Amino acid sequence: MAEHTPPAADDAAEPGSRGFETPEGLRALLLRLHESGPGAWQGDREAADLMRYTAERYRRLARKHNLDPWHIASAAFEVMLAPSTRNAGNPWAVVTRAVQITCGVEARAAGLLVATSKARRTPRIAGFHDAVRFADREGLADYHPAFAVAPDDDDPESGEDDGPVAAVLSEVVGLFVLEGWDAALVADCVEHVAYRLADLSSRSRAVEVLRRDRTVPVVLGLPPRSWTALLRIVLGHPAAKHTGTPTGDGILLRLLNGEPPDSLRDDNALTDAIRAAHPNPTPER
């Protein structure tokens, strides 16, 4: 497997205005959080700033491997919890190397169509080449005449169908922003939800998997209650009693099914739920 190059913002990057951007500052923050005991990461403003910075620091490396930056930030978070990281001479070097390895393993697992744990821990597959999907082969008509099709000028161009989905995700973000949520925060949350939804079998499964992942709200800088509420608002409430209702469908499915955005904006129960889920509610909300 080819060696991966480090991200542009390497460990020798110029220090910024935040102390944790330097190796010494990161060590000091990790030690403080460790000494504060369990739950110290939750609700700590500097810890939330650190994870947002981490996602941005490794964004280009994640994109290079077609990975979600927040997925990589989550891997970095796990490394930051290790004693070896906070005791290292350069904690950022440890985190960067771990992120590089994670990116390589994720890319290898995707190529071989296996779980990441198998790609990481099974030496016998190290020499295998990436899987070649039958549908990706050129000249399928050469394999059998049944694969020959007449050209159709009405077929959409590659990537043409991406527009409606992107528009729906933008509308989802807009609904939260109208109720006082920070636009960048909601965009990160919705992007992560959409990324994970593609890997899971159903919306209800996605709600449960994402809700149980305690790393995600810390990485995104959300209280757990707001994160759980956002999932149920976007993907739908999984309880059986809500099946077939707007609450059970969630705003993502409602928009994809063609419900006008104005209809959702006029849904008082929905707007009340979005306001109630706000991470920093105020009396006037």
Q: What's residue 75's pLDDT?
A: 86
CA 36 to chain centre: 28
When pLDDT is cut at 50, 70 and 90, the band that residue 281 belongs to is low
Q: Average pLDDT, stretch 48-73?
A: 88
- Closest CA relative to residue 277, chosen from 218, 223, 229: 229
Res 165: pLDDT: 75
Give the start-to-end residue ranges of the domains of the chain. 19-121, 162-276
Q: What is the pLDDT of residues 250-262, one digit of tens each?
A: 998 898 888 999 9
pLDDT value at residue 13: 38
Nearest to 34 by CA among 84, 83, 77: 83
pLDDT at 107 > cutoff 70? no
Measured N-to-C along each axis, helices 45-57 and 69-80 cross at an angle, to the nearest 10 degrees, of: 130
Of 41-45, 135-139, 211-215, 245-249, give the lowest mean pLDDT range: 135-139
Instruction: Indicate if the pLDDT at residue 65 is higher than 70.
Output: yes
Q: What is the mean pLDDT of residues 88-109?
A: 81
Mean pLDDT for the chain? 75
pLDDT of residue 115 exceeding 80, the answer is no
Q: What's the pLDDT score for residue 35?
A: 92
pLDDT reading at 28 higher than 80: yes
Residue 111 reports pLDDT greater than 80:
no
pLDDT at 9: 39
Q: Tell me, what's the pLDDT at 163?
A: 60
Percentage of the chain lying above the pLDDT 90 cut: 28
Query: Is the pLDDT higher at 213 or at 83?
Result: 83
How many other CB atoms are there within 10 angstroms of residue 85's CB atom?
21
Question: pLDDT exceeding 70 applies to what percent of the chain?
Answer: 71
**CA–CA gap between residue 61 and residue 99 (Å, rounded):** 9
Q: What pLDDT was estimated at residue 201?
A: 64
**214-234 as b/e: b if 16+ CB within 10 A:** ebbbbbbbbbeebbbbbbbbb
d(CA 195, CA 200) in angstroms, rounded, equals 10
Q: Indicate the burial class of 282 (C-beta count within 10 angstroms; 0-12, 13-18, 19 or more).
A: exposed
Mean pLDDT of 147-175: 63
Q: Model's pTM, two decimal places?
A: 0.49
Segment 110-118 shows an average pLDDT of 46
